[in-house]
Structure 1
Amino acid sequence: AATMDRTAACSLWIILALVAHTGLSSSPPTGKEAWSYVEVRNGAHMFWWLYYADSLDLPLVMWLQGGPGGSGSGFGNFGEIGPLDGDLKPRKTSWVQAASVLFVDNPVGTGFSYTDRPDGYATDVATVASDMLVLLQHFFTGRAEFQSVPFYIFSESYGGKMAAAISLELTKAIAQGTVKCNFAGVALGDSWISPLDSVMTWGPYLYTTSLLDDHGLEEVSSAAEAVKQAVEQQQFQKATELWSVAETVVEQNTNGVNFYNILTQEPDERRASVAGEDFVSLQARRHVRPLHEQSLSELMNGPIRKKLGLIPRNVTWGGQAEDVFSNMAGDFMRPVVDVVDQLLTAGVNVTVYNGQLDLIVDTMGQELWVKRLKWEGLAGFNEMRWTPLDDPMFPGVTGAFCKTYKNFAFYWILRAGHMIPSDQGPMALQMMRMITHQV
């Protein structure tokens, strides 16, 4: 059951307390917050944190982070779309100005979420979806004012894979009457929907952007082919291990290109494995720990923990993140393209959006799986020309392209890597407003 629900006006004294603790300066935001835990399974506790918009006429957006093991309450909140940034200063492009925003530390063990025992972690997206359904049942029952508010799920990276599965289960639950909410759509950002399509396009993408030579292209393509064979043989744990090998081959041939933005270089500490390190630890160092950098960890385990007032003493923010990743490793390379097809066929509004400079989930790979959809509207979508969108900060300069047909949309976000809201905050905010029909 939900425990220790805390609701608070984000008043001046709270911010001043944070400032006094951190030595940082900030202005207090207006608005109301709420946070709590839900025990989604015996011994499995999921944390959520809600920021209210100024009006219930605005939609409700749930944000799901990637990893798996990346924390929405931490990185998504303070690093991307929340009202305050990591220095506790107001964010001009916060999504809270256009929606109530619900951050959920998902799967169990992520961020402030935790499990009491080793077998409490999710091992596949089916469990992730069923856990989230329990949380949403509690949330919409306890906060009935949101039952009629348009509800959207926005996601990033592996969060998109989870969001697709969650959206399908939520659609079924609404039809069955077990969850009361106004589900209006799901947005899949740089999402791990078809892992193999991403891996198979790494080589061509890097080659066309002058980040691989002919020898490098051959080596990366060979490593990707090994991943493909494992996936085709349904050896998904092996495929995950070979995916890690392929990343190392990419790093070696590009002098450490950053998988999250090809215009930058990967820090040395995230590169190839050290002696005795297994692939799970390596991948956690590459893709989970960057979401838990030291400054954010100190913020979450210090003043934020104190503000929330309900985190158990034995729980550390991010402390179980690597275990989350490890337990999901066998499911990591499984595609969920069929789930997206089911959502579209059921009439759910689905949006795909991707950053131009992202490598790990490059746009080339996204377009490949989209073109294989069995959705009856695909031919009509493919016949359309995209529409250019001005960059909100630079009128007359294209910031993105978009294409919408029936209940499917695709946004190509220019000059953005994997974390679009942190790379192109104004464009991301405008996109969110368009998806939620505010523009």
Structure 2
Amino acid sequence: MLFVLFALWFIASGLLIVDPGSRTMRWMSAVAFTGGSGALAAVISADIIPYFQLTSPNPSLTSILFRVMSICSLLSYYGLPYSFAMLSLAYNSTWQKPLLRTWLPLILLVPPFASLILLPGYTEEMPIDFRVVATWAFPYIIIGSLLIAFKKEHLPAMKRTHLFTCLALLPPILCVGVLNYVMPSFGFYRLWIYHVWILAFVVPFFVFTFFKYGFLGIRLLIERRKLDSTLRAITSGTAILNHAIKNDVGKMRLFLEKMNQHAADTGQTELIQDIHVVMNASRHIQDMISRVHEQTQELPLRTSQVDVRQMLQEVIEPLEVYLSNIQVHVELPDHLELRLDPIQVSETLTNIMMNAIEAMSSGGELAIKAFSSKKNIVLEIKDTGMGMEKSVLKQAVEPFYTTKSGNRNNFGLGLAYCYSVMKKHGGSLEISSEPGKGTRVYLTFPGQR
């Protein structure tokens, strides 16, 4: 059971370290911690107490260890189903009303506390009254599993994460429910010894899915934090470069003007031509760095209440010259308003639509619609273009990554800028694409906006 103890407490610690502010992460950590407490009780019973009884018998020490063991055992038996029930409510909160979210956690505490107070005390042979505890603990686990399994996800990245969360979490918790509560109710005790075999499969699978696909959204969180830090570094770097180059180019132009005047006074035609070449090059360098800086600088939000349909019309109108062979479909709820920065969001929509138009050089369909996801409003921009390979899709939002290498005016900052704008609004940008099946871009805005 030592392996179970370390594995579960390692997972509990890792979840808290990665995202301590997430309610879902805290309850998932509580599930792992309470499960590990049961393993600690088993280790104390099977290894620690016998060791001290053989090496240095001490009734006081044995009594203390027995009390610690009983606390850990009860924490596991009563705490694990409650923690899992709270995890399921935090993970799938779409159906809950505000009043229910306030009172349901307190109501769910009643059976564990009543069992702890009213049922017979802990003994090593019979730690709890399994028949009574199973009447509420196993339903907590079953209903919680259903809540997690049937959570609806609309965004592609979250659908995949949800699938692997279910595969990593639900089979072991259901096994725990059967082995720890149901089977002992029928007289089959100490089946928790088989948890080692369950975790021997679950822990490697958990680690694999955590790093490969994500768990409870953690991988997405890590990727976004990494991209945020990259954008901050680029913003700072381009600001310094812009300032330094502007100063040095200014000095160059000053001296070039003097040289040009001297060449004109002395009739050196060839030197004048050379000076003009250098001046044009310096002007081009300054223009290039200025445009990069404009696309990466931190622009403050100037938010207002915006009619989304009207904003889309204003974005589409200037693009009509490119839409001659493309059908545009807009499907929005009536009177959809969001509080946002209309200039920056309009620029974001323009960038995304231009990418879609360029992907449909032979014509196609561009569909824009809005829907609700949890408490958020999502704008989906879908095209029927060529789509993207997975390798391209993974890098699409990274600064300076571009597939338009032949275009000297493209710096690969369009989608990075769009991501930054959505981040400033407290939302997100996600892309789903397959070669030959087109691309979908999801802009998620917090519902309160």
Shared fold, TM over 0.5: no
Q: Which has the higher strand share?
A: 1
Structure with greater helix percent: 2
TM-score by length of 2: 0.22
Structure 1 length as normaliser, TM-score? 0.23
Bigger Rg, which one: 2
Greater RCO, CA 8 A, separation 6+: 1
